């Protein structure tokens, strides 16, 4: 996978199964990890990634630029994660168990994070949705402003604004913690 | 690069250690294939249903009329079926795209949001069915002609029936979109007042 997360174009001759496989091998694990940052547990994160691949498969013919596959998958995972957390309207039981926007790792994952990192990730989870998306895409996937803008369907200037505000909020929260 | 940016990168980098279930690719490929099969089957069923409807209507006309000219009641019936089809298609469509909007408006009290969606559905279907019953005709209107077949006036009337329900639902949903944020705000205020009262009671 390239630093920007793009994928070499999938040619017409490739079978659908192999194109899914190629996409998964290039981006699957990172997509699960992104999803994991936004939802409560790993199996839910994997379900979201599975759903994102199904949606990609349905819309693959409408995708004008084959290089946009990774961006499409990323933005689908982010949208699905947002819907998953909003599902309080569908599943209140789930909502009661996990506050919306919780970014705290599950007990297994917590073992690999030290206390300060956990606090920082929880602070990221508490950011406004757009700010949180921008921070994760920028500092986890190392995407450029333009790539983040394409993924989220907003302008590059908005990305800069969200990042600036998000980082300011994080700085403030981390200082409060001390 | 600031210290906070470095910390963020370090914290996110630890997520690289989170393992992915080994059979995820297999699951994804299976799910994609199952989805494709399901969609193909659905497309075939819909095509078969459309073909069956065309054959049924064509045969009925041919048998009853000896041609494709229709009695007035056949167009009336077709329009009613179209209205029911619109009702059953529009309802889930509006719910699908409105759910996130309602979730945002009622994010402070999701239980109210859930009830709101159910009650809106009930209101929607009541309006639709009432409209269909009120606009259905059981005998030919005198203005439509005297020979019992379809006339331009009846076609205009049936088009107005379909246009009428679309306009009613459109206006109601437009109002809903504008008014809902205000209602959501009021509910949030009520919730806060209740919480403040509870706190006061606890203090007393």
- For an interface test with A, the pick among B7, B24, B36, B42 (most A C-beta atoms closer than 10 Å) comes out as B24
CA distances from B39 to A120, B45, B49, B85, B157 (A): 43, 10, 15, 20, 37
Cβ within 8 Å of B, A 20-79: 20-21, 24-25, 28-29, 32-33, 36-37, 42-43, 46, 49-50, 53-54, 57-58
How much is the pTM? 0.59
Query: How remote is the C-alpha of A31 from its chain's centroid?
Result: 7
Angstrom distance (rounded) from CA B113 to CA B105: 8
**Total residue count of chain A as it appears in this document:** 178
Chain A neighbors of B107, CB-CB under 8 A? 86, 88, 100
Nearest to A120 among B8, B100, B110 (CB): B8
Q: What angle do CA A53, A57, A63 make, to 5 degrees?
A: 110
Angstrom distance (rounded) from CA A52 to CA B200: 48
Three-state DSSP at A76 gives helix
Q: Does A170 touch chain B (CB under 8 A)?
A: yes
Cβ within 8 Å of A, B 37-66: 39
Q: Does B143 touch chain A (CB under 8 A)?
A: no
List per-residue pLDDT tens for chain B, 204 residues long. 688 888 888 888 877 777 888 899 999 999 999 999 999 999 999 999 989 988 887 787 777 766 667 788 888 999 999 999 998 888 888 887 887 788 778 877 777 788 888 888 899 999 999 999 999 988 888 888 777 788 888 889 999 999 999 999 999 889 988 888 888 888 777 777 777 777 777 776
């Amino acid at each position: 996978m390239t630093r920007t997360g793009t994928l070499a174009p999938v040619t017409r001759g490739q079978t659908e199964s192999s194109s899914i496989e190629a996409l998964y091998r290039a981006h699957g694990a990172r997509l699960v990890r992104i999803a994991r940052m936004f939802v409560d547990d790993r199996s839910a994160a994997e379900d979201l990634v599975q759903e994102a691949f199904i949606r990609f498969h349905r819309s693959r013919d409408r995708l004008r630029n084959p290089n946009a596959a990774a961006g499409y998958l990323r933005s689908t995972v982010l949208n699905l994660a947002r819907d998953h957390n909003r599902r309080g309207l569908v599943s209140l039981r789930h909502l009661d168990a996990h506050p919306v926007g919780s970014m705290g790792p599950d007990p297994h994952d917590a073992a690999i994070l030290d206390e300060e990192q956990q606090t920082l990730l929880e602070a990221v989870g508490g950011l406004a949705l757009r700010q949180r998306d921008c921070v994760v895409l920028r500092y986890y996937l190392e995407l450029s402003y333009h790539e983040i803008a394409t993924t989220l369907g907003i302008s590059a200037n908005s990305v800069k604004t969200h990042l600036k505000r998000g980082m300011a909020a994080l700085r403030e929260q981390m200082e409060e913690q001390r | 690069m600031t210290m906070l940016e470095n910390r963020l990168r370090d914290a996110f980098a630890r997520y690289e250690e989170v393992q992915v279930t080994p059979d995820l690719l297999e699951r994804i490929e299976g799910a994609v294939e199952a989805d494709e099969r399901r969609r193909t089957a659905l497309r075939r069923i819909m095509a078969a249903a459309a073909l069956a409807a065309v054959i049924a209507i064509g045969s009925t006309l041919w048998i009853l009329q000896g041609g494709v000219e229709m009695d007035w009641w056949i167009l009336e019936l077709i329009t009613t079926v179209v209205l029911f089809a619109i009702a059953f298609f529009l309802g889930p469509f509006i719910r699908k795209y409105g759910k996130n909007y309602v979730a945002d408006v009622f994010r402070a009290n999701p239980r109210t949001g859930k009830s709101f969606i159910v009650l809106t559905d009930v209101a929607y279907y009541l309006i639709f069915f009432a409209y269909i019953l009120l606009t259905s005709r059981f005998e030919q209107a005198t203005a439509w002609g005297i020979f019992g077949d379809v006339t331009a006036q009846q076609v205009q009337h049936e088009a107005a029936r379909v246009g009428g329900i679309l306009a009613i639902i459109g206006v109601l949903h437009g109002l809903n979109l504008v008014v809902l944020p205000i209602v959501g705000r009021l509910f949030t205020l009520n919730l806060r007042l209740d919480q403040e009262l509870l706190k006061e009671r606890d203090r007393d």
